[in-house]
């Protein structure tokens, strides 16, 4: 048996399947591959990404860019310092990959040509994405250090670290590097690392109760050792946590749990542990630990403060403090003892973090705190020793060191509390997941047993019983029962939805009334709730482009501050020696050296790079959480940044602007054929098609025969047994669907054509003028005309309408008021398209656009550099969603459309487009305000701390007060971001400037 570390933990996830079809009116087109969102490059040009190591600042990235642009044939070179990458567009006839690599290496850096990949698309085959909690990060410089270390590891393809969530996501090749190696690399750099979960499916963490003694533990180990498929395990007797590594092909997670419980005869109770719950407990532990440090520091600092400020006014106490004990006064001994504990025991974390940063070649806030407190502490110790030797007793500043550490710890505690609030969205989503499920065990179709299982052990195909008032345990389909379900957690709509047999259901939603039996179809990472959590997580870990500037400033901030502090000390010291200011300014028994040192220390401790580092990620985290609560899932900060600049919004028509539920409004026969015979003929032809228009035709014909025509339904019943079958339809042969035209088949040996003008013209069938006029009239009234030919003769026309969504016109007007120009793109003919556009107020229309041409339509609006958004719902919209600057998948959408989009609008409502744009604008307004505050704080605070205003206004900031200001600066920025939680979605009446009485 081999032991596992805590980093090996992950949940077993069982893959489901399922996809949905697109609803385009003119074609049924499948997207076979998706290359992600790429910038367009010229013909004959090639684009590659190069990994560059050794860059430490903007000057390095400029050197790399200069070396690349100096190559003949390179059209464009862009270097991302924080990502350690170079993006190069070049002419492969003039320059080769190796030339690019050599140019970077000649500039003094290491280079590696990277394989093409997309972080938003499918992960490269053979790689695993692991998630880690990372402790000890205090600012953007720490984040840069960890990311740099991870990206430098062999086998690591991608690494993203988020300061606000203390999480890291690493994509790596498990054949080259292990989870332990990654965690060890983080810990070797001086940070804390703990594995959370990964995309692999061979590990599970269980909570075991019933292990009361050493004998029980050996019994449990014996059970696990005899399991076929168990590779490794580790049991912690204190916490009761059991980690198991197993072969998923030989053993399922449920079989493992059931086997342990069964082989122990019920002695051991097993519960699957949720990795997100562990993360929450770690967050609580970090908060508690920081609070304990703060209270301890405060408890020891208050006596030091009293000794310096209060005690001199209490004669008896002051006399005791002035009692000489050995070479020092009693007060000095007390100050030294108390502050030494604060400085080196409680404040050890600052020395550790500072050493870690310096060891990695970077600087952060901990370096500033360690410098400031050490200067005050060691000066005070030196002053005491100097007094013993010379008899000249200079003032000491022990209280400065103690109070500074206390205030910094208080600030960190408040910061952790505030940052915890920003991750509430994920916590709430996790809480939505049900804990248990009722598994229905069947034998030969009959229920033989019902038993409760952990919801994390549900497998695809399981039949689950859902009682009234409980959460649905998984995504699936209703196989028995009828009830209403509250789906507001996904759609945002409070109105309950009726669920009957074959109705789809979503895990985590609430069953309100009747009992349901559902069959699980999507579990684990494929479930809707899991995908929402994953999307929110990914968004909160992403970095907006605007953050790159802040990260760069933070990386050079500390060296600049230290330089300013030295310059401040030099100026005041030299000015004092030259007699530039009166001796009265000096503290009692003080010197020019000490006077200058206090200003210098204040400069060091008041400067705060944390505020800059937190300005963007905290706002993005809050915005993604707020968006999720409003049914708008945002995939990242870069999507937010682009969305606030949207100039055009291109809407797909069918299923986006319209309801996507086609209905027949007109059926006109132009021959002597009976109306019922005509409908039977058309329905028989369309019954073999899966197209939405075909289904509308069949439904219309069925309704006519079994409800409107009493001769076929003598009992007057609208739902006879026959009506649900297909016995009334004619036999069809040689059926074929013709994309973009319609369908053809043979009935009774005669050809039947159902489709558009193009289909009939290609078949040589003439369309009479009066029929053409009728079709034009339909199209001008926003209906689609479907022509029907039988035995080479046009026999009739059916008018089909897809009603426009009720909010479409108001949303279009609202976008115009917001300065955004709406555009409609559709495969329909121009008459129908323009009729729909007129109805909802859209001026720009692109008609007769095939699915493959939608992406070209998007690009046509991007030519002038405008930011273009695409709103669609189907597979055939995916290329356009990917080509757009901002892709918005509306409604549940299809899996591939969601993959291609930047925003997922969970409700089938166009109003969410306005919410997405409005939230993006408000988020970036808040980010800009955060940056203004953070920059202004340092611009104003540093001169005050340096004593710039002391000669004229007498304003001086003691080091301990500077520490208090610094501690509150980053908290202020985080709290500013938290105000986004009060976001209210805009009312359309407000946008349209309508007065409601």
Per-10-residue mean pLDDT, the chain, length 997: 32 32 32 34 72 64 80 82 72 84 80 55 57 76 80 85 76 81 82 70 76 84 81 79 74 80 82 64 71 89 82 78 80 88 88 76 73 81 80 75 80 68 60 78 72 82 89 89 80 72 86 88 76 64 64 74 87 87 78 83 77 77 82 79 90 81 86 89 86 83 68 36 59 83 88 89 89 88 87 90 85 90 84 83 81 79 89 74 85 58 80 90 89 82 88 80 73 83 78 54
User: ∠ CA 507-513-516 to the nearest 5 degrees?
Assistant: 55
In a domain, 109, yes or no: yes
What CATH number is given to the structural domain containing 879?
3.40.50.1000
Please state the length of the chain. Answer: 997
Residue 664 tokens read as 């027949």
pLDDT at 493: 58
Look up tokens 């001769």; give the residue. 711
CB 640 within 8 A of CB 630: no
Cβ-contact 512, 483 below 8 angstroms: yes
In this prediction, residue 821 carries a pLDDT of 93
Number of domains in the chain: 5
Residue with tokens 């394989």: 115
Tell me, yes or no, whether 821 and 904 share the same domain.
Answer: yes
Query: What is the C-alpha separation between 913 and 300, in angstroms, rounded?
Result: 55
In sign, the C-alpha dihedral spanning 170, 175, 180, 182 is negative
CATH of the domain at 86: 3.30.70.100
pLDDT at 282: 58
Torsion, Cα of 917, 919, 922, 923 (10° steps)? -110
Q: Is residue 187 part of a domain?
A: yes
Domain-ending residue, one of 864, 889, 919:
919
Determine the pLDDT at residue 723: 39
CB 846 within 8 A of CB 825: yes
Determine whether 315 is exposed, middle or buried from the number of CB atoms within 10 Å of its CB (0-12, 13-18, 19+).
exposed
Q: Are residues 673 and 772 in the same domain?
A: yes
| Whether 543 contacts 635, CB under 8 Å | no
Neighbours of 200 (CB within 10 A): 17
pLDDT of residue 341: 92
Query: Are residue 655 and residue 675 in the same domain, yes or no?
Result: no
Q: Are strands 844-846 and 821-825 parallel, antiparallel or unpaired?
A: parallel
Classified as helix, coil or strand, 149 is helix
Q: What is the pLDDT of residue 246?
A: 75
Structural domain containing residue 808: 631-659+804-919
- Helix (H/G/I), strand (E/B), else coil: 77: strand
What is the distance of C-alpha 693 from the center of its chain?
Answer: 37
Tell me if residue 443 is catalytic: no
d(CA 366, CA 389): 34
If one counts every other C-beta atom within 10 angstroms of the C-beta of residue 123, the result is 15
Q: In the chain, what is the greatest distance between 2 CA atoms, to the nearest angstrom?
A: 126
The verdict on 703 and 827 lying in the same domain is no
Q: Are residues 698 and 756 in the same domain?
A: yes
Q: Give the pTM.
A: 0.61
CA dihedral 849, 854, 859, 861 (to 10 degrees): 60
126 DSSP assignment: T
Q: Evaluate whether 306 touches 344 at the Cβ level (below 8 Å).
A: no
Residues 808 and 793 in one domain: no
In angstroms, the CA 644 to CA 255 distance is 50
| pLDDT computed for residue 796 by the predictor | 93
Strands 750-755 and 446-454: unpaired
What DSSP letter does each residue of 226-278 carry, written as one string? Answer: TSTTEEEEEE-TTT-EEEEEE-TTT--HHHHHHHHHHHTTT-SEEEEPPHHHH
The β-bridge partners of 520 are: 476
230 vs 422: CA distance, rounded Å = 39
Tell whether 466 is covered by a domain: yes
Quick check: is 699 in a domain?
A: yes
User: Which residue's structure tokens are 């000890």?
Assistant: 136
Q: Does 172 share its domain with 77?
A: no
The per-residue pLDDT for 883 is 83
CATH number of 682's domain? 3.40.1110.10
| 3-state secondary structure (DSSP) of residue 26 | coil
Q: What is d(CA 465, CA 995) in angstroms, rounded to the nearest whole number?
A: 50
- Residue 107, in any domain of the structure: yes
Last residue of a domain, one of 523, 552, 574: 523
Residue at 544 is within a domain? no
Q: Where are the alpha helices (DSSP H) in 687-768?
A: 692-703, 757-762
749 and 651 inside one domain: no
503 phi and psi, to 5 degrees?
-75, 140
Does residue 152 sit within a domain? yes
Smallest Cα–Cα separation from 202: which of 221, 227, 229, 222? 229
> With contact defined as beta carbons under 8 Å apart, do 152 and 323 qualify?
no
Supply angle C-alpha 84, 87, 89, rounded to 5: 160
Q: Distance of alpha carbon 391 from its chain centroid, rounded? A: 64
CA separation, residue 606 to residues 308, 407, 501, 958 (Å): 22, 11, 65, 10
Find the radius of gyration of the CA atoms of the chain. Answer: 35
Q: What distance in Å separates the CA atoms of residue 898 and residue 889, rounded to the nearest whole number?
A: 6
Whole-number pLDDT of residue 721: 36
- How far is it, in rounded angstroms, from Cα 974 to Cα 398? 31
Q: 694-701, long-range: CB within 8 Å, 24+ apart, which pairs?
A: 694/743, 695/662, 696/661, 696/662, 696/663, 696/664, 696/800, 697/664, 697/754, 697/786, 697/798, 697/800, 699/664, 700/663, 700/664, 700/667, 700/798
**784 and 678 within one domain:** yes
Task: State the alpha helices, DSSP H only, in 781-871.
Answer: 808-817, 830-840, 854-862
263: left (phi over 0), alpha (psi -120 to 50) or beta: alpha
Residue 646 CA to residue 981 CA, distance in Å, equals 23
Specify whether 876 is located in the same domain as 779.
Answer: no
Q: What pLDDT is recorded for position 306?
A: 83
Strand partners, 477: 504, 519
Phi, psi (deg, nearest 5) at residue 269: -100, 130
- CA-wise closest residue to 25 among 760, 583, 847: 847
d(CA 506, CA 824): 31
Is residue 840 in some structural domain? yes
| Alpha-carbon distances of 242 from 9, 183, 458, rounded to whole Å | 10, 20, 20
Distances (CA, A) of 271 to 264, 411, 787, 869, 940: 15, 38, 62, 45, 55
> Residue 51: what are its φ and ψ, rounded to 5°?
-80, 125
Looking at the fold, whether 740 and 681 belong to one and the same domain comes out as yes
DSSP letter assigned to residue 725: S
Residues 654 and 672 placed together within one structural domain of the fold: no
> d(Cα 145, Cα 137) in Å, to the nearest integer?
10
- Strands 510-511 and 483-486, by their bridges, are antiparallel
The token pair at 507 is: 């895990």
- What are the backbone dihedrals phi and psi of residue 844, each rounded to the nearest 5 degrees, phi first? -95, 120
Among residues 454, 652, 877, 912, the one annotated as catalytic is: 652
The CATH number that applies at residue 512 is 2.70.150.10
What is the C-alpha separation between 446 and 443, in angstroms, rounded?
Answer: 5
- Element spanning 380, H or E: helix 365-390
Q: Which among 59, 80, 114 is the end of a domain?
A: 114
């Amino acid at each position: 048996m081999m032991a596992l570390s805590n980093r090996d933990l992950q949940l077993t996830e069982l893959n489901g399947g399922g996809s949905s079809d697109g609803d385009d009116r003119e074609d049924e087109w499948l997207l076979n591959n998706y290359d992600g969102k790429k910038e367009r490059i010229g013909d004959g040009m090639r684009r590659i990404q190069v990994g560059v190591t050794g860059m430490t600042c903007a000057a390095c990235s400029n050197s790399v860019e200069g070396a690349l642009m100096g190559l003949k044939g390179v059209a464009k070179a862009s270097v991302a310092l924080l990502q350690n990458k170079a993006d190069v567009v070049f002419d492969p006839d003039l320059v080769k990959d190796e030339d690019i690599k050599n140019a970077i290496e000649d500039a003094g850096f290491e280079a590696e040509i990277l394989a093409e990949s997309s972080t938003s698309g499918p992960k490269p085959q053979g790689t695993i994405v692991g998630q880690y909690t990372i402790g000890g990060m205090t600012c953007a410089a720490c984040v840069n250090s960890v990311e740099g270390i991870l990206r430098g590891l062999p086998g690591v393809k991608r690494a993203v670290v988020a300061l606000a969530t203390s999480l890291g996501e690493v994509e790596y090749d498990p054949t080259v590097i292990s989870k332990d190696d990654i965690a060890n690399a983080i810990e070797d750099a001086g940070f804390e690392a703990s594995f959370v979960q990964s995309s692999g499916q061979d590990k599970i963490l269980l909570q075991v109760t019933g292990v009361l003694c050493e004998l029980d533990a050996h019994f449990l180990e014996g059970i696990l050792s005899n399991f076929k498929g168990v590779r490794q395990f580790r049991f912690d007797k204190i916490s009761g946590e059991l980690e198991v590594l197993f072969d998923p092909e030989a053993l399922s997670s449920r079989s493992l749990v059931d086997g342990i419980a069964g082989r122990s005869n019920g002695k051991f109770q097993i519960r699957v542990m949720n990795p997100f719950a562990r993360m929450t407990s770690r967050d609580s532990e970090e908060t508690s630990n920081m609070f304990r440090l703060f209270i301890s520091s405060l408890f020891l600092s208050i006596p030091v403060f009293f000794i310096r400020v209060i005690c001199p006014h209490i004669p008896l106490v002051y006399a005791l403090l002035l009692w000489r004990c050995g070479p020092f006064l009693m007060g000095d001994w007390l100050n030294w003892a108390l502050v030494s504990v604060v400085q080196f025991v409680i404040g050890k974390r600052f020395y550790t973090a500072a050493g870690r940063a310096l060891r990695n070649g970077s600087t952060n806030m901990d370096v500033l705190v360690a410098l400031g407190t050490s200067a005050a502490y060691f000066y005070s110790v030196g002053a005491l020793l100097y007094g013993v030797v010379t008899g000249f007793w200079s003032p000491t500043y022990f209280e400065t060191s103690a109070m500074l550490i206390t205030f910094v710890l208080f600030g960190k505690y408040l910061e952790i509390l505030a940052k915890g609030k920003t991750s509430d969205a994920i916590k709430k989503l996790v809480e939505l997941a049900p804990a248990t499920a009722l598994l229905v065990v069947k034998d030969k179709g009959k229920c033989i047993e019902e038993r409760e299982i952990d919801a994390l052990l549900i497998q695809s195909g399981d039949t689950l019983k859902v009682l009234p008032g409980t959460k649905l345990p998984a995504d699936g389909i209703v196989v028995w029962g009828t009830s209403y379900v509250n789906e507001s957690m996904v759609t945002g709509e409070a109105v309950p939805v009726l669920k009957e047999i074959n109705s789809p259901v979503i895990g985590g939603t609430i069953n309100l009334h009747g009992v349901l039996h559902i069959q699980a179809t999507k579990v684990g990472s494929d479930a809707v709730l899991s995908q929402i959590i994953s999307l929110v997580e990914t968004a909160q870990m992403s970095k907006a482009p605007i953050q790159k500037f802040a990260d760069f400033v933070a990386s050079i901030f500390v060296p600049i501050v230290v330089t300013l502090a030295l310059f401040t000390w030099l100026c005041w010291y030299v000015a004092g020696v030259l007699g530039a200011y009166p001796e009265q300014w000096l503290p009692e028994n003080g010197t020019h050296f000490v006077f200058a040192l206090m200003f210098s220390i204040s400069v060091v401790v008041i400067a705060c790079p944390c505020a800059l580092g937190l300005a963007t990620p905290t706002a993005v985290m809050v915005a993604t959480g707020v968006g999720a609560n409003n049914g708008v899932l945002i995939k990242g900060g870069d999507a937010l940044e682009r969305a606030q600049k949207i100039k055009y919004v291109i809407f797909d028509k069918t299923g986006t602007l319209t309801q996507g539920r086609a209905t027949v409004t007109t059926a006109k026969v132009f021959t002597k054929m009976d109306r019922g015979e005509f409908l039977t003929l058309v329905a028989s032809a369309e019954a073999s098609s899966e197209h939405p228009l075909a289904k509308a035709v069949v439904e219309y014909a069925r309704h006519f025969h079994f409800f409107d025509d009493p001769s076929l339904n003598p009992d007057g019943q609208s739902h006879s047994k026959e009506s649900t079958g297909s016995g009334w339809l004619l036999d069809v042969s040689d059926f074929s669907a013709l994309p973009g035209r319609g369908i053809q088949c043979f009935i009774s040996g005669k050809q039947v054509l159902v489709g558009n003008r193009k289909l009939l013209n290609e078949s040589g069938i003439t369309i009479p003028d009066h029929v053409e006029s009728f079709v034009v009239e339909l199209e001008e009234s926003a209906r689609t005309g479907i022509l029907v030919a039988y035995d080479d003769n046009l026999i009739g026309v059916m008018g089909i309408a897809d009603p426009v969504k009720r909010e479409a016109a108001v949303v279009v007007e609202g976008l115009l008021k917001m300065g955004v120009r709406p555009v409609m793109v559709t495969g329909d003919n121009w008459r129908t398209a323009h009729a729909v556009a007129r109805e909802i107020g859209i001026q720009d229309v692109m008609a007769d656009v095939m699915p493959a041409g939608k992406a070209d339509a998007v690009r046509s609006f991007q030519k002038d550099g405008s930011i273009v958004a695409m709103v669609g719902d189907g597979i055939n919209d995916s290329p356009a969603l990917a080509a757009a600057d901002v892709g918005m998948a509306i409604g549940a959408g299809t899996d591939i459309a969601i993959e291609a989009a930047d925003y997922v609008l969970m409700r089938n409502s166009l109003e969410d487009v306005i919410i997405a744009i409005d939230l993006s604008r408000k988020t970036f307004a808040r980010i800009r305000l955060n940056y203004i505050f953070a920059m202004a704080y340092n611009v104003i605070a540093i001169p005050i701390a340096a004593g710039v205003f002391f000669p004229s206004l007498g304003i001086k900031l003691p080091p301990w007060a500077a520490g208090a200001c610094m501690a509150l600066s980053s908290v202020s920025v985080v709290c500013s971001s938290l105000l986004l939680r009060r976001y209210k979605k805009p009312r359309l009446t407000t946008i349209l400037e309508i007065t409601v009485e």
